[in-house]
Structure 1
Amino acid sequence: MSSVVSPLTAGIDWSSTHHAIALLDEHGIEVQRLDVEHNAAGLRRLVHCLRQAKVTGVGIERGDGPLVEALLEAGLTVFVIAPNQVRNLRRRYGSAGNKDDAFDAYVLADTVRTDRARLRPLSPDSPATVTLRMTVRARKDLLAARIAMANQLRAHLEHVLPGTIGLFRDIDSAISLAFLTRFPTQDKVDWLSSRRLENWLRTQRYCNPRRADVLHAHLSTAARGCTGPEAEARAAVTAALVAGLTCLRQQVEVLDTDIAQQLERHPDAVVFTSLPKAGVLRAARLLAEMGDARGRFPTPESLTCLAGATPSTRQSGKVKVVAFRWAVDKQLRGAVMDFAGDSHHANAWAADLYARARGKGHSHSHATRILARAWLHVIWRCWHDGVAYDPSRHRALQSLTATAA
């Protein structure tokens, strides 16, 4: 008589150097424990073990990276369980709730065993989408670094050369950086006259060199900076910050071009570029964060919840509290709110919805979340069907237009 092998579930506690793995049987009893290194040999050993054990589901805390790619390529069903969920689930097995790699692997495996019906298998995005997401997020990080360095430069100039602050609109603009490269000290700024400044602006192809009188007056009336040997010494810091900002500007421009090319080749580009005020970069960010795995969002509600556009409702007895939703995909929420916050400037329906929310006393951010929730239902339908947003088929917009007429 042949024996029947019970189905096994696995949990993997991921780290950058090694992974702890626990395999459980259908009764929650740990039948095997592994610890593999995060390298090619370790991943091959892990996949071989899981396939040999005929594991029916794998729980893990993240949904990307070489480890997840290896699991999916092996045909294994992967369930992503967020770290904050794991932290709460630890209390199922004890009141301490302490962090331990092997124990977390057990918790992940047992959660897949007991809560599988409530978990959604990981649907991987296409390589094109993953690459676009990496590029978009890299650009976002570079912009954050550029803002931080611009603030550092501004704080430095307050002591060294105050007149350059506010001379042009942005401290990290190309014209500002060029000016600081040519005139990094108060002594060199003092050499300027309105005529000399105008001539220099023309060499830089400045849009309005005739403003030289206004700019020179700004430099003349500002507080004076350092002069002499002290100024020359501090100019080295100015040069270093200017060089850093120049490099960051160049790299952001490189990524802008790359993102535009990637978006143009992407099959879902038609959906997101058709949205009002989307543009190239905003459309690319929306596409990258939503992805192209339709199974990830089977309903528009699943999308609005993960994007943080739906409030969190808690009720106990007669007490009901509706609050801001914190447990969301912050990258997706940022992309959606950025789009929604500008869409009401180019779409009558969005403008009406935003205005009515503001009329009820809601703050700008609250009104934007309300608008984002409505937009996500529209975007989900276009994304699910793979068609461009068509204002003439948007019933709510057409009803509003007909009423206004």
Structure 2
Amino acid sequence: MFVGWDWGSTVHGVCLIDDHGAVVKKWMVRHTEDQLMSVFNELAQLVEDGEVGQVPIAIERGEGLIVGLIAGAGHPVWMVEPAAFKAARPRWGSAGAKSDLGDAFMLADYARTDGHRLRRVEPVAQATRELAALVRARTALVEARTAASNQLWAILAEHWPGAAMVFQKLTSAIALDFLTDYPTPQAAAHLGKGRMGQFCRRHSYRGGKSPAELVGRLRAAPVSASPIAAPILTSIVHTSTAQIRLLNAEITRLEGDLARALATHPKTPLLQTLPRVATVSLAALIAEIGPLLERCDNPEQVAAMCGAAPVTRASGKSRTVGFRYTANKPARVAITSFADNSRHSSDWANDAYRRARARGARHPHAIRILARGWVRVIWACWTTDTAYDPSRHCSRQLLAAVS
């Protein structure tokens, strides 16, 4: 028997079929504890031997609450890739009809005919899940900070252009302090080298620019063509700076939590000696790449799943190699960000990157080539439970592998 589960945020479609594809039972299940447990109990009773865990459930998800509940009920969870399932839909009709129960039936039938192609979702270790939650929470805050910074920049560009030019990053403490003290052109009307110097000393500025240069940046900017009243601009700027300060503080707090979580994670000693891998990068590698290392059979599968390997299409004399769009995007960000940083302190990584550029690869492509090489290194460390040792890193063999 096979089950297809078309999940939703409030209602789920569930279909049980036998080994010949005949429908045994269908359910429309509300997303409540009672109804979900009721379905799991019914499934246990409908199975021939009456034992929970004998019915594989196909679902278009690899993680999340409903996947955890299904696995917790003792059922094997088979993940169906949405793109593959979409391509297979014409098997059941060309009209394009769609419903929750219809999708559930198709998922169950897909598991019956193509189950050998599906991977079983294995539970991720508690420590890794907690680390992943922290990494993703920090990523969400960084994205929110970027959005708030862009919004502040747009406001300044229209109404107070000079303030956006004084310091390099609007999210830095010194830039926020400047906007707090000088939120409008009127507030900075009498700001000269002397007062700028006092401001820099008061806020411990370490940017390396002289007060004269900072004032020069401020005065060189064009005057706003659409000024608004100073009290209104002050209110808007102070609101934006307060929001960014709060996000900065929470990001820093989460980074402290990440450091504490890494200190107790069993895989941290294996990867903490990688070049230029700081707290956030190390946490992302373990949280996003780690589960792929556990479920894949070889490093090439890992590289493909995290988007570090290209897609090859060949037919007759035609052969094209292109970017892999379908990939685990958080894992791709984790491995490519690390690879980009690593080339600044690893001779092997820098050489691999330069060789790729010399072959005509653009920067993003060269970074993915380097990331693919690092996947092999990380795979070896992870699967053999061996800490990365730069002195044992055989440059010649790995350069050949990356190439």
Distance 1:283 1:96 in 2: 48
2:26 corresponds to which letter in structure 1?
R
Distance 2:171 2:292 in 1: 39
Match of 1:239 in 2: 238
Shift of 1:376: 0.7
Distance 2:162 2:292 in 1: 53
Matches within 5 A, 1:149-228: 149-207=148-206, 211-225=210-224
* Comparing 192-201 and 263-272, the one that deviates more: 192-201
2:15 corresponds to which letter in structure 1?
A
Matches within 5 A, 1:3-402: 8-54=1-47, 55-207=54-206, 211-225=210-224, 230-292=229-291, 295-396=294-395
Residue by residue over 1:47-66, the C-alpha shift from the partner in whole angstroms, topping out at 9 and shown as x without a partner, is 21222233421101112222
CA 1:69 to 1:208, structure 2 compared with 1: closer, same or farther past 3 Å? closer
Residue by residue over 1:263-297, the C-alpha shift from the partner in whole angstroms, topping out at 9 and shown as x without a partner, is 11111111222211111110101111123475411
Residue by residue over 1:337-368, the C-alpha shift from the partner in whole angstroms, topping out at 9 and shown as x without a partner, is 11112222221222221111111111111111
Distance 1:195 1:223 in 2: 23
Distance 1:229 1:354 in 2: 50
Distance 2:226 2:369 in 1: 55
CA 1:398 to 1:77, structure 2 compared with 1: closer, same or farther past 3 Å? closer
Distance 1:292 1:264 in 2: 19
CA 1:219 to 1:316, structure 2 compared with 1: closer, same or farther past 3 Å? closer
1:13 corresponds to which letter in structure 2?
D
Distance 2:383 2:108 in 1: 32
- Percent sequence identity over matched residues? 38
Does the 8 Å contact 1:198/1:210 carry over to 2? Answer: no
Match of 2:50 in 1: none
Residue by residue over 1:14-58, the C-alpha shift from the partner in whole angstroms, topping out at 9 and shown as x without a partner, is 111011100010001111001111121122112212222334211
The alignment of Structure 1 onto Structure 2 pairs a total of residues equal to: 393
Residue by residue over 1:209-235, the C-alpha shift from the partner in whole angstroms, topping out at 9 and shown as x without a partner, is 982222223323333358997122222
Equivalent position SS for 1:106: helix
Equivalent position SS for 1:187: coil
Equivalent position SS for 1:389: coil
Equivalent position SS for 1:320: strand
Does the 8 Å contact 1:126/1:293 carry over to 2? Answer: no
Does the 8 Å contact 1:124/1:293 carry over to 2? Answer: no
Shift of 1:91: 1.3
Distance 1:313 1:171 in 2: 42
1:20 corresponds to which letter in structure 2?
G
* Comparing 163-172 and 203-212, the one that deviates more: 203-212
Distance 2:397 2:329 in 1: 33
Q: CA RMSD in A?
A: 2.1
Distance 1:52 1:396 in 2: 58
Does the 8 Å contact 2:57/2:76 carry over to 1? Answer: yes
Shift of 1:379: 0.7
2:170 corresponds to which letter in structure 1?
I
Does the 8 Å contact 1:185/1:226 carry over to 2? Answer: no
Equivalent position SS for 2:309: coil
Match of 1:5 in 2: none
Does the 8 Å contact 2:149/2:170 carry over to 1? Answer: yes
CA 1:185 to 1:377, structure 2 compared with 1: closer, same or farther past 3 Å? same
Does the 8 Å contact 1:348/1:397 carry over to 2? Answer: no
2:229 corresponds to which letter in structure 1?
E
1:268 corresponds to which letter in structure 2?
K
CA 1:134 to 1:189, structure 2 compared with 1: closer, same or farther past 3 Å? same
Residue by residue over 1:123-152, the C-alpha shift from the partner in whole angstroms, topping out at 9 and shown as x without a partner, is 111122112112111211211121122111
Shift of 1:160: 1.8
Shift of 1:177: 0.8
Does the 8 Å contact 2:159/2:227 carry over to 1? Answer: no
Shift of 1:314: 1.7
Match of 1:403 in 2: none
CA 1:32 to 1:227, structure 2 compared with 1: closer, same or farther past 3 Å? closer
Give the TM-score normalised by the residue count of structure 2: 0.92
Distance 1:16 1:227 in 2: 46
2:39 corresponds to which letter in structure 1?
L
CA 1:399 to 1:136, structure 2 compared with 1: closer, same or farther past 3 Å? closer
Runs of 4+ in 1 over 4 A off after TM superposition: 225-229, 292-295, 397-400
Shift of 1:399: 8.8
Distance 1:210 1:296 in 2: 51
Equivalent position SS for 2:25: strand
Distance 2:220 2:299 in 1: 57
Distance 1:270 1:253 in 2: 23
Equivalent position SS for 1:34: strand
1:47 corresponds to which letter in structure 2?
F
1:346 corresponds to which letter in structure 2?
S
Residue by residue over 1:74-119, the C-alpha shift from the partner in whole angstroms, topping out at 9 and shown as x without a partner, is 2211111122222112111111334321111111111211112222
CA 1:92 to 1:222, structure 2 compared with 1: closer, same or farther past 3 Å? same
CA 1:169 to 1:33, structure 2 compared with 1: closer, same or farther past 3 Å? same
